[in-house]
Copies of this chain bind each other. A is one copy, B any other.
Amino acid sequence: MPKPKKERILEEAERLFAKRGYDGVSLREITNEAGVDVALVKYHFGNKQGLFDELLSRRAKALNRERSDALDAVLERHDPAPVEEVVDAFTHTLLNKVVSEDPSWRSYFGLLAQVNNNPDWGGRAMSKHFDPLVHRFLDALKRALPGCDEADLYWCYHFWSGALTLTFADTRRIDGLSGGLCHSSDFEAVHKRLVPFISAGFRALCQKYEENDREHH
């Protein structure tokens, strides 16, 4: 039994939008790749924007639940939890999906990279789907970093988000820059490094008191 055509449209659209952005792909290209007729886009999704919105939201729900559960698991072990564990709970789920599962997740994150950096409507779209979850994580980080300034916390998340989405954009720039030493699509390498990098940033900006009474200037 072949895949439903609606599903084929979604898959190809996800793949192509991730590569070239909303305006860089036409409906005809999507439907040609999917082997279906253009008119089906109207039938199933209303129009191009409707197709795109459907792409964004269909995976967001499951993803949010999964990451929320990951945070719960950390907080059950200890609350306040160490910065590293909270950061890892946020990032872990994404990078795991990219490495091991269904390759269409990779397209989805590429899509999010496009949206996150879109100055026109990307901010609103990201907020709509992910801000409630982000607030949960920032609350946990706030407890991990007592006395921290709220604005610092939000800016740290901003830097984190930028580092993460550039990774998912998979531009292959680092391949050349590093002379072949690193690879843009080596998400295991990122996984190993992103959590300590970001955690150190949070601590540097937001950690007002050392945990122990060790001497420090």
Q: Which residues of A contact B (CB under 8 A)?
A: 18-24, 110, 113-114, 116-120, 122-124, 126-127, 131, 134-135, 150-152, 154-167, 169-178, 181-182, 184, 189-190, 193-194, 196-201, 203-205
Contacts and interface: CB of A to CB of B under 8 A. Distances in A.
Main DSSP-derived SS at the A contact region:
helix
B120 A117 contact: no
Contacts of A178: 150-151, 154
B151 A117 contact: no
A115 to B, nearest CB: 9
Copy total for this chain: 2
Contacts of A193: 152, 155-156, 159, 205
Contact of A169 (B23, B119, B135, B160): B119
A184 B151 CA distance: 12
A21 to B, nearest CB: 6
A22 B114 CA distance: 13
B189 A196 contact: no
Nearest to A20: B120
Contact of A19 (B120, B198, B201): B120
A173 B123 CA distance: 4
Contacts of A117: 113-114, 117, 165-166, 169, 171
Given A150-B181, A173-B122, A182-B154, A205 B196 contact: yes
A65 B31 CA distance: 47
Contacts of A124: 173, 176
Contacts of A119: 18-20, 110, 113, 169-171
A6 to B, nearest CB: 26
A193 B151 CA distance: 10
Given A134-B177, A154-B177, A199 B190 contact: no
A198 B196 contact: no
A197 B167 CA distance: 18
